[in-house]
Structure 1
Amino acid sequence: MNYADTVEKVMSLLKEKKVCSSSRKSHRDCYESLGSYLDQNSTEYTVKARDEWFAEIKKSLPSQRCVIWIRYVYQLEEMDSSGTVSDRRLYLNQSVYDKLPVSWKDDLDFYLEDCCKRYTKRTLELTRTYFSEGLLIFDEIGVVNISDISYEAVLILVNTKMYQSAETRNVILNYTARMIQFYEKIGKCTKPYSLLFNSQIYPHIGLIDAFSSENKAALQKTIDVIMSAADFKGKIEPFIECLQAHGYIGTTLKLAKHALTAFYLFLDIHDLGYHPDIVWIWFSEVKNTLGTSWLHWRRVLSFCNEYLLSGDIHPGGKYKYIPTIYDELPEWCKEAVAGLLEQKKREYRESGTLKSYRCSCASFCLFLIDHGYDSFKQISPEIIKEFSIQDEHSTFKGRATRFVIVRAFLRYLEEHRYTERHGLDQCLISGSAPVDKIIDVLSDEQIQRIQEYRLTHNAPVELRDIAIVLLGLKTGLRAYDILALRFQDIDWKKCQISIIMKKTKTQITLPMPVEVGNAIYSYLKYGRPDAESDFIFVRSKAPYGRLTGKVCTRALYRILPERNDVKGGGFHVTRRTFATNLLKNHAGIDDVMDALGHRDPTSVMKYLLLDDERSRKCGLSLSDIGLMLEGGL
């Protein structure tokens, strides 16, 4: 801003508008005061300099003069920005209310009549002034009464630079929103325009004009909408109630309402309907406005899509947001891979195993595509050899696992006539050499610390942690068997736990030690949320669903933090410790097998190495095997 020139332009305009001499003198005094401040500090006019000057004059001038002078300075900024000062900023003899057209006055008076019983006379006058400020902006863009308001007009108002303090600007917008909301309730406004004034929603609505060209094109292609914007709006409250029914409270419910309201406004402003594809196109554009809460928004939107399609949500489910390699494969590849996966499902393979199969087969197919293949009939030993050479696994075991899966895929292709070649699966190695590892178990000192933790920690999650860890340590149950425990699996009178083990499908009945029973009871009475679930162990926060296996490992780490630094030091160490302690207490191999639910004694033999006392009894005399000690002794 050229300060001196801008001041003269404002003063000339005041004279042209026949503003009284006292008012012009007051303007001049204000501008001279600010100009002197800028000269003394050797600085140009900036917002920062303006605020520092204002903070200084507030100490010495009457508050009423300060309020008037800051308005004069906003006139300077408007002149510099637009080349003039609007009449509503010049504070001519007419009040702001008097500058309104009759149509707006009628609408405002009708609203104020409804407010007069709630406001004092002074408050009513201030209210009329603030309303008039906002309505004058509508008038300037051709909106002359409440019935003419549109989304476009409200967006212009919200984005208008008012040359007011931030506080005054917010007051004007809030008052205008109240009036519009009043007319929405009585049916004179047919759209929820007042929602655009919500500062927690407006920044995240998104406008198509600002979208990327790719997303604009994608929106044009999405024409088969599932429901209208109005119907979508009607689903928001039932969806919030669904979240509440699943135990969600507080922040999640508030965020869900904000997110879905913002999306509804986006649809309504642009005359679009609801479709899951539109949700994700919109989310990709507004994501940058969400800060660190974008992950929470994404999950809420996934819940909403699920609710609108099925009528409920599955809080424990996992959602896929990024396409996998498999998703991008051509149909001739997908058909064969899907067939193999279906076969493995019928063999009762776990979901993790199926995921490994899908990933390895997709990588093999992608390799073929990159080498120009468009059919499995072209596969040859040479291309398989090349695939094995380029594999990037860092360990031999990792490569061998990948090759075992691809071998199975090649056999499937041969059996189902996708290729005429025979024996292609023999072109890849099929396994890795066996590896013996030193058995890792908990020390006596660590076991003692677990017992001490139980006596000194009483928070809900801590009670759950100790119950889980003691179950692993005293019964040898695997993590997923512990988390699968249901109320009917425990016989409290007989102190027994009866389950079907997930890994071996073996039914097993174990004694429940008193300390384990007490730990479970303490968790159920003082730590477990009031959740309608058959599972004993549930999430500590909504949704109160079943836990995952990682919870057991994290429980152990919270009690024994040093285990986090042990390679392979997960929850399974409690099962190994349980087996080792059984052997140390002179249990037989068969007893250990029964306790662990094993069918093969070979997996128990490795624990014998840790039984120092009985291992010493197995020692052989050196003379019996022909070895002599030095000196002949």
Structure 2
Amino acid sequence: MSKQLDYVKVSCLSYLSRFERSSNRIRRFLRYWENLEVFLGPAENSLSEELIWEYDSEFSVTMGRAERHDLRRDLTIICFIAHHDLPPEGFHISICQAFWDLPIWCRKAIRDFQESCKHLMSLTTLSNYEVSLSCFFIRLDLETVKNTSQLTHKAIIRYSAADETPELSKRNRNSDVKSFLKYLEKLGLVKPTIHLVLEPSFQNEAILLDPIQYNAYPWKVLSVKRRTEPIAVYEQGVAKLEEYLTKCSYSQNHKKALIHGATEFELFLYCNDMGYSIGIADEWMESRRHFWSKSEYYSNLRAVHLIHELLMGKPISPFFPHVDRRKYHINENLEHHLLDYIEYRKHECLKPSSISMIHSSCCRFLGFVESLGIRDISELTPQIVKDFNLQDHHATIGGKQAYNARIRNFLFFLATKNLVPMSLHLALPAMAARKDRIITVLGLEQQTAIEAQFNNPRTKMEKRDNALVALGYDLGIRGIDIVALQFSHIDWDKEIIRFRQQKTGVWTTIPFTVNVGNALYAYITEARPESDSPYVFLSFKAPHGNMGSSVCRDSIGRIMKNAELAPCTGFHITRKTFASKLLMAGTPFSTISDLLGHSDNTTLKVYLASNEPEIRQCAMTLQGIEYQGGLL
């Protein structure tokens, strides 16, 4: 007998002496051992589990159930000690009868998995793996699954659906099975994401389309190979998405939610052997919409569209959702005239907001024209234009006038192209002359509230609010220019800010006060997110991009709310207050115009009414005007 067999025999007897008190049990073990030695023959120097499995297959066939149970119990102990040595005191080698009923390829797969993690797991955990995986293979349809490479998403879904064991037992077993499937994924023996079929948070998305569903519209049309990319392309997109989210410092929760949504779609593709396309993604999203909450739906929709943009090399849009939210959908026979006009107006270097206003106004008119069944622009008549004007209602006369002015210009453009009569635009009248109003400025209490927060900012949000409001309140800068401010615009040595105004395109240079400098410094050093962006003001939320001018309005709104004061009528009131304060201090008109970035002094007339001490001197006497009974 070889030293190895001698050592294993002695160790087995030592182990049995810990738990067995029956001499018959020891004698049965010795009898099985003698038979094993005879079976091994010349191969006794290389005792392996495969040989022990062959021994079991040859001798256990003719045994009764109880005797076969005893044999496999002893063989399990022999295999364990031959592989792991004598276990420590108190450790009991678990006997899994189901393991011995499995095909050889199943047993080998389990042993290879245990071998891969034996240095990381305890003996108890390794034994639990054997029990769990044996139950897993027993419940598989082994008539169709002949080796590990045939473990597919469909096979795991069917296994999960047929598993009727109690929930706790199922969860514990599936946890071990997932570890096994991850191991196979790592080796490339099964397809990626297969373990997610057993993940509770993904199980509802492990959907198999039945043949009727798959061959029905739209899946059959969308799944044509020439219209799809391999799933590997989508996997690259998921990796790019994770890299992008990390680079942009998204929070862990937000990052996790987006990756989860992207992986859910990947799981669906693998389950149904489908390629990837954005069309399939959109259809999948729509089919699952009613099973998700609103936040889950939009998170998953954003995830798959971000991946599409990354794969297409498109610039990532911060706006979401990626859906068409146009108020007006114009027939293409009419729309192409509008597109020509928009392109023409773009050559005038108009701001995007101006182009948007022109587009909205003209769409409003063309929408009415289309509702009359007109598809040819040459069919327009003065009566149609008048009818549009009569039914086109706006909240204010000024709003209606703004729309009509842009529609008249559009009609005149069409006339220059000989598409409509030259005088057609005259059918749309001007509604009213412009009215001059007394400007509104910040009251004393509101100014006090702003200055109080300047002296005591506590949070990062308050420090950003201080910097934003200080630029408008102390320097009179427009909100749209504040959010576009870049570090290159600030000269700390000369204490000036030089930038190009978004509204007029005129460059202006403004000296900043100590209060503004302190507010900017506090925000930049203590509250601004870490970013390489050239913009001074960034969003606190990833990806920390620059913001719209509405953040300025929100900032002054928070200050008023904290002071329990009425909200302001927009951020522009700070610019009006700045100009009014300069006027009341006797600052020359030319200086005020330079600081505000105005091209001439005439625009300052509206601020005269805010100088109450001076305006009182303009009051006219009532001398010579007779009145009686309280009436003039």
Same fold, TM-score > 0.5, yes or no: yes
Question: Where in structure 2 are there 5+ consecutive unaligned residues?
Answer: 1-94
- State the partner residue of 2:502: 502
Give yes or no for the alignment of 1:307 onto 2:310.
Answer: yes
Question: Where in structure 1 are there 5+ consecutive unaligned residues?
Answer: 1-92
**Cα distance in structure 2, aligned partners of 1:270 and 1:182:** 22
Letter of the structure 2 residue corresponding to residue 307 of structure 1: L
- State the partner residue of 1:23: none
**Cα distance in structure 1, aligned partners of 2:214 and 2:183:** 39
Letter of the structure 2 residue corresponding to residue 363 of structure 1: R
How does 1:17-32 map onto structure 2 within 5 Å? Answer: none
**Cα distance in structure 1, aligned partners of 2:471 and 2:266:** 49
How does 1:211-226 map onto structure 2 within 5 Å? Answer: 216-217=217-218, 220-221=221-222, 223=224, 224-225=226-227
- State the partner residue of 2:425: 425
What is the percentage of aligned positions where both structures have the same residue? 26
- State the partner residue of 2:258: 256
Letter of the structure 2 residue corresponding to residue 128 of structure 1: E
- State the partner residue of 1:387: 388
Letter of the structure 2 residue corresponding to residue 515 of structure 1: N
- State the partner residue of 1:282: 284
SS of residue in 2 equivalent to 1:398: helix
Change (3 A) 1:495 1:191: closer
- State the partner residue of 1:514: 514
TM-score (norm 2): 0.77
1:148 Cα deviation from its structure 2 partner: 2.2
SS of residue in 2 equivalent to 1:560: helix
Give yes or no for the alignment of 1:237 onto 2:239.
Answer: yes
Contact 1:222–1:277 (CA<8 Å) still a contact in 2?
no
**Cα distance in structure 1, aligned partners of 2:529 and 2:442:** 31
**Cα distance in structure 2, aligned partners of 1:398 and 1:479:** 22
Contact 1:204–1:290 (CA<8 Å) still a contact in 2?
no
Which stretch of the first structure deviates more once superposed, 519-528 or 280-289?
A: 280-289
Change (3 A) 1:445 1:195: same
**Cα distance in structure 1, aligned partners of 2:216 and 2:587:** 67
Give yes or no for the alignment of 1:134 onto 2:136.
Answer: yes
Change (3 A) 1:565 1:156: farther
Give yes or no for the alignment of 1:297 onto 2:276.
Answer: no
Change (3 A) 1:518 1:290: same
**Cα distance in structure 1, aligned partners of 2:522 and 2:589:** 34
- State the partner residue of 1:154: 156
- State the partner residue of 1:109: 111
1:173 Cα deviation from its structure 2 partner: 1.7
Letter of the structure 1 residue corresponding to residue 159 of structure 2: L
- State the partner residue of 1:343: 344
Contact 2:415–2:422 (CA<8 Å) still a contact in 1?
yes
Change (3 A) 1:301 1:244: same
Letter of the structure 2 residue corresponding to residue 124 of structure 1: L
**Cα distance in structure 2, aligned partners of 1:563 and 1:324:** 39
- State the partner residue of 2:541: 541
Change (3 A) 1:398 1:211: farther
- State the partner residue of 1:484: 484
How does 1:62-211 map onto structure 2 within 5 Å? Answer: 95-139=97-141, 142-164=144-166, 166-204=167-205, 207-208=208-209
Change (3 A) 1:350 1:566: farther
1:121 Cα deviation from its structure 2 partner: 4.3
Contact 1:154–1:196 (CA<8 Å) still a contact in 2?
yes
Contact 2:207–2:271 (CA<8 Å) still a contact in 1?
no
Change (3 A) 1:498 1:424: same
- State the partner residue of 2:460: 460
1:220 Cα deviation from its structure 2 partner: 1.2
- State the partner residue of 2:365: 364
Contact 2:560–2:567 (CA<8 Å) still a contact in 1?
no
- State the partner residue of 2:249: 247
1:5-43: CA deviation from partner (whole Å, max 9, x where unpaired) = xxxxxxxxxxxxxxxxxxxxxxxxxxxxxxxxxxxxxxx
SS of residue in 2 equivalent to 1:139: coil
Letter of the structure 2 residue corresponding to residue 305 of structure 1: H
**Cα distance in structure 2, aligned partners of 1:215 and 1:554:** 50
SS of residue in 2 equivalent to 1:475: coil
- State the partner residue of 1:530: 530
- State the partner residue of 2:474: 474
**Cα distance in structure 2, aligned partners of 1:340 and 1:504:** 23
Contact 2:258–2:302 (CA<8 Å) still a contact in 1?
no
**Cα distance in structure 2, aligned partners of 1:281 and 1:433:** 52
**Cα distance in structure 1, aligned partners of 2:562 and 2:437:** 20
Give yes or no for the alignment of 1:580 onto 2:580.
Answer: yes
Contact 1:467–1:523 (CA<8 Å) still a contact in 2?
yes
1:435-454: CA deviation from partner (whole Å, max 9, x where unpaired) = 34342211222222212212
Which stretch of the first structure deviates more once superposed, 218-227 or 566-575?
A: 218-227
Which stretch of the first structure deviates more once superposed, 116-125 or 521-530?
A: 116-125
How does 1:593-608 map onto structure 2 within 5 Å? Answer: 593-608=593-608
**Cα distance in structure 2, aligned partners of 1:240 and 1:406:** 47
Letter of the structure 2 residue corresponding to residue 470 of structure 1: A
* Number of aligned residues: 533
**Cα distance in structure 1, aligned partners of 2:282 and 2:359:** 25
Contact 2:557–2:567 (CA<8 Å) still a contact in 1?
no
1:156-191: CA deviation from partner (whole Å, max 9, x where unpaired) = 223334131x22211122211221222222233244
Letter of the structure 1 residue corresponding to residue 234 of structure 2: F
Contact 1:495–1:511 (CA<8 Å) still a contact in 2?
yes
Contact 1:552–1:571 (CA<8 Å) still a contact in 2?
yes
SS of residue in 2 equivalent to 1:271: coil
1:250 Cα deviation from its structure 2 partner: 1.5
Contact 1:472–1:574 (CA<8 Å) still a contact in 2?
yes
2:625 pairs, out of 603, 613, 627, with: 627
1:558 Cα deviation from its structure 2 partner: 1.2
Contact 1:463–1:522 (CA<8 Å) still a contact in 2?
yes
1:101 Cα deviation from its structure 2 partner: 4.2
1:211 Cα deviation from its structure 2 partner: 11
1:513 Cα deviation from its structure 2 partner: 0.8
SS of residue in 1 equivalent to 2:578: helix
Contact 2:139–2:159 (CA<8 Å) still a contact in 1?
yes
**Cα distance in structure 2, aligned partners of 1:409 and 1:278:** 41
Larger Rg: 2
Change (3 A) 1:597 1:207: farther
Letter of the structure 2 residue corresponding to residue 523 of structure 1: Y
Contact 1:151–1:269 (CA<8 Å) still a contact in 2?
yes
1:521-553: CA deviation from partner (whole Å, max 9, x where unpaired) = 111111112211211112223212211101111
**Cα distance in structure 1, aligned partners of 2:397 and 2:143:** 72
1:463 Cα deviation from its structure 2 partner: 0.9
Change (3 A) 1:99 1:461: same
Give yes or no for the alignment of 1:375 onto 2:376.
Answer: yes
1:79-135: CA deviation from partner (whole Å, max 9, x where unpaired) = xxxxxxxxxxxxxx9944355444433432333344445444444333322222222
**Cα distance in structure 2, aligned partners of 1:94 and 1:285:** 44
Which stretch of the first structure deviates more once superposed, 480-489 or 198-207?
A: 198-207
**Cα distance in structure 2, aligned partners of 1:109 and 1:211:** 41
**Cα distance in structure 2, aligned partners of 1:438 and 1:158:** 74
**Cα distance in structure 2, aligned partners of 1:344 and 1:367:** 23
**Cα distance in structure 2, aligned partners of 1:533 and 1:520:** 16
Change (3 A) 1:207 1:380: farther
Letter of the structure 2 residue corresponding to residue 482 of structure 1: I
SS of residue in 1 equivalent to 2:498: strand
**Cα distance in structure 1, aligned partners of 2:476 and 2:154:** 66
Contact 2:416–2:422 (CA<8 Å) still a contact in 1?
no
